[in-house]
Amino acid sequence: MNDDTGIDPGAPPSGTGCADCDASGGWWFHLRRCASCGHVGCCDSSPGQHATGHYRSTGHPLVQSFEPGEDWFWDYAAEEVRASGPALASPSSHPADQPSPGPADRVPADWARALRR
């Protein structure tokens, strides 16, 4: 771990989906990955807002998008987007064939109405 930033580039992602949604049978819109420990949580538009919950419970301030083709970071402490950051352990996103929202078998038909704005 890099003690100056709290980032651990070697920490693998906790899975291919939101760990908390998977544990509770929920669903997510987009995914974020903690740069400190690899915890994968759902974004603030998702019903569970688990990435922010992880930040609040752990104090780990940086997440990276866990969406295919995206590599930006969000800094919760500074409340700002960072265009880039360190390379994190592979994989850098959920599988490209995994739908968003997902997982497909748990997304309600009226999912768009459940998004938080």
pLDDT tens, residue by residue, 23-78: 999 999 999 999 999 999 999 999 999 999 999 999 999 999 999 999 999 999 99
Q: Which of 15, 16, 12, 64 is nearest to 43 (CA)?
A: 64
Sign of CA dihedral 80, 89, 36, 28: positive
Q: Identify the helix (H) or strand (E) that includes residue 39.
A: none
Spatial neighbors of 1 by CB under 8 A, at least 6 apart, are 7, 8, 11, 36
Q: Identify the helix (H) or strand (E) that includes residue 16.
A: none
Q: Is the pLDDT of residue 5 over 80?
A: no
Q: Count other C-beta atoms under 10 Å from residue 105's C-beta.
A: 6
pLDDT of residue 106: 96
Q: Measure the CA–CA gap between 62 and 41, rounded to whole angstroms.
A: 12
**Cα angle value 116/96/36 (rounded, 5°):** 65
> Mapping DSSP to helix (H, G, I), strand (E, B) and coil, where does residue 65 land?
strand
Q: Is the pLDDT of residue 117 over 90?
A: no
pLDDT in tens, 68-93: 999 999 999 999 999 988 899 999 99
